Structure 1
């Protein structure tokens, strides 16, 4: 780890700004899953134990229009956080202005202040005026476009910045890069430190064979991921809807299956580059409509003219399992089919089971839908690591820099 970590900095008595990921699921103003709050607690508790004054920044949901603000208020998060904290947890209804500034000035050691949703800065200007375009869409974009004045303003609240939000590490926002660029001391929190260590171990120093599994709907979302994995992994398995673009590239019939016509040549190129290293499904489960009804297993890679493939078939499951069972390191990103449908979750469950039963293997799920699937099907504790950031883990697996980490001070 070349970046400063939490234990590299003395936080006693200091105002510590922490970018956390409290983008939790909500229904009718109630939190339905507090896992992200639980995930951030180790960092927050460490700061309390070391007598810091803690100011938390997070986004929640998307702020596209002014009416989005009410349902994406962070007050329920501060109330949930109080259940974990012995010291008071305060909430600011503001993400800028004199009231927030006074709340920060009044903060005592060990106390926590949760600042209002950072994405509100996408709809408010620096004078707290609502800025929208002709269609009523948020137009200020000060948070998401890393407005230099906003980053400098938020940085002025504290002495130290801690980035513990891996889920936004692939974005250059005012609340991560902006603050880090305008403060004397910065570091990564425990959650981000763990993410970087786990992904680095899988990608940069793997036990071999390294088997990478890439699924999901679109080739376009994963081109760079597949290209980088072909350089690093011993085998790269392709599943999900993107497989049908590869089928098309190979000259097979795909019926009404998902196809990115403009990516057929890309698929051809990846097949040529990958050769035996690239493992493609050899059959599918097909149906006439995108519905959760029983489908039929194809005989080979050809899909019937009036049907669409929604999962990998039984022969593909056996093929993939035979490849995975020899792995010492597995990196998985993306489901094998429409796992939300009971009739088309078999491929994803089979991959989960095979990875879960590996002995002495280092196994990582790169967030997103594959993480959701593993948790849904009861495999949460069967993997070495499940990433908290789908987009960030994908960027890491692509071999690209993470702006939210790059902005942190080096040791």
Structure 2
């Protein structure tokens, strides 16, 4: 990707930077998480270069309990930047414009939740967003736009694509790191084996990724909902809903043909679980071999011991490992073995490794692993999937420009 970065931005300017500070909320309190620490590097670098900085960000969506003002976010960000950050309860009205015009070098303000404006959320082409009141009001107030919200880069929203369409645009530190790591599976050539851990609850997403990367990946380590669906497709009595569960049957019907095609086209690349773990009547972890399951009576919550050992060995001997989804319900320590032990094997090996998806990456922190032992730990969800599948990201494409004009690719 050809783009300008912060290293190309002359110091001492007034800039607007789009971050993704969207965070979990508990009882009205915003939880600190790695998004703040990651984006803090971009903000610190802008402050150090004597820029006056206005932050655009969002929290939740209208109508949801997580749809909150950004006052707490400004306080949390200030702690990570180790620099004062002012909250402005306005996005592009008179109060916001006054705060922007008062910016001096080294000042940082967080403008109000951009999704509280009517212009932000509609999915529109960049040129239409460029005509919105939000963009037409804010753009003239700044010398440059910095796009750092990689996690939201798959959304064609006004602050993501409209502003960089009419302004000099630069990629922030998070945008560069995320894009280059997450797209590596499609853009880099690896001499050794490439392995993907394919798990999680969203089997449809996983199967979409597998279909896009079937010729790039040597080993798909199947787990989670997707793992059971593939086992069901080859005749094992798993991968079915029980009770009032709604996780398996619908996704199986939606993906049956794609699953069957992948099985037929890649019999040696698909690595199936041989055993699965469940909660017994005694509340403890128990395991079944998939061949012994005659009727699915239990909800399987992790891959079993034999599967874990095989998967860890394959991952440890790969040149590159990409993680898309957990192998089990790692939030419950009883069923964390598959996810944690395979991640630990990846961390120990000398390979290029990317752990993607907000949920899966949480396991690293929960179980005391060091992010530095992985090549990249992504904070993105949907954008990570788009990068893996080679789908263009609207927020990335908007940065492909020179002096406000779209850049032509050779």
Give the shorter-chain TM-score range: 0.7 to 0.9
TM-score, structure 2 as length reference: 0.87
Farther off after superposition, 249-258 or 345-354 = 249-258
Q: Please, which of 96, 119, 129 is the counterpart of residue 100 of structure 1?
A: 96
Report deviation, 1:17: 0.8
What does 1:91-130 align with in structure 2 at a 5 Å threshold?
91-121=87-117, 125=118
CA, structure 1 residues 278+36, in 2 after alignment: closer, same or farther (shift >3 Å)? same
* Displaced runs of 4 or more, over 4 A: 28-31, 84-88
What does 1:131-210 align with in structure 2 at a 5 Å threshold?
142-146=120-124, 148=129, 149=132, 150-183=134-167, 185-207=168-190, 208-210=192-194
What does 1:238-277 align with in structure 2 at a 5 Å threshold?
238-254=222-238, 256=241, 258-259=248-249, 260-262=251-253, 263-277=255-269
Farther off after superposition, 151-160 or 227-236 = 151-160
1:74 equivalenced with 2:70 (yes/no): yes
Name 1:331's counterpart in structure 2.
Answer: 322
SS at match of 1:275: coil
CA, structure 1 residues 73+300, in 2 after alignment: closer, same or farther (shift >3 Å)? same
Name 1:10's counterpart in structure 2.
Answer: 10
Structure 2: segments with no counterpart, 5+ residues: 243-247, 403-410
Name 2:362's counterpart in structure 1.
Answer: 372
1:363 equivalenced with 2:363 (yes/no): no
Name 1:35's counterpart in structure 2.
Answer: 34
Report deviation, 1:111: 0.7
Name 2:62's counterpart in structure 1.
Answer: 63
| Aligned alpha-carbon RMSD (Å) | 2.4
Contact 2:59 2:115 in 1 (8 A): yes
Contact 2:5 2:172 in 1 (8 A): yes
Contact 1:334 1:368 in 2 (8 A): no
Contact 2:221 2:311 in 1 (8 A): yes
SS at match of 1:113: strand
